[in-house]
Amino acid sequence: MGSFDIEICSNCGREISRSEQACVFAGNIVCAECDNTLRSVPVDEPAAIPAGPAPATEVELQTEAPGPTEPLEQEKANQIRNESKPVGFIITGVILCLLGIGLIGIGLVSLAVLFLLGSPIFGILMAVWCLTSGILIVISGIAVTVIAVISRRR
């Protein structure tokens, strides 16, 4: 068992192995017995933890296994949040494509009706506007979807 497999109680100096429960009291690591004793002190009297064993030397610090650090945990949380963002962009891209396809369909129906009934200028302009807008929206939707998929794979 290496030195990184144990903790030292700040109150009594006893070694606490990984199989035992180490507790934290007032920012110090203590064994379960000392934790029970310190927590049983009435609230009116603040419990004082005597100075623990001497601080670890540089050699002991190097042999300890690195524990999870707060920046690492924050990075994981940010990664989880960022992974869900492309999904929203993919959904947006699909909705834009469907909207564009709908406008293209309206434009094509307008053109078909215009050819059957004659060709008033307002109807032609409306059909061209629907077709152009629909095509631009479809292209935008495809671009958003492709960019979101590519960013999700990275």
Where are the domains positioned within the chain?
3-63, 70-153
pLDDT per residue as tens digits for the range 20-63:
878 888 888 888 888 888 888 765 555 555 555 555 555 554 45
Q: Nearest CA to 38 among 29, 53, 8, 17?
A: 29
Task: Give me the pLDDT at residue 101, please.
Answer: 92
Whole-number pLDDT of residue 36: 86
- Which one is predicted more confidently, 148 or 86? 148
Identify the band that residue 1 occupies on the pLDDT scale cut at 50, 70 and 90.
very low
Q: What is the pLDDT of residue 150?
A: 83
Q: How confident is the model at residue 19 (pLDDT cuts 50, 70, 90)?
A: confident
Query: Is the pLDDT confidence value at 9 over 60?
Result: yes
What backbone phi and psi angles, to 5 degrees, belong to 106?
Answer: -60, -40
For the segment 112-140, what is each residue's pLDDT rounded down to a tens digit?
A: 888 787 777 777 888 888 899 999 999 99
pLDDT tens digits along 79-117: 666 555 677 888 888 899 999 999 999 888 888 888 787
The predicted model scores a pTM of: 0.43
The pLDDT value given to residue 139: 93
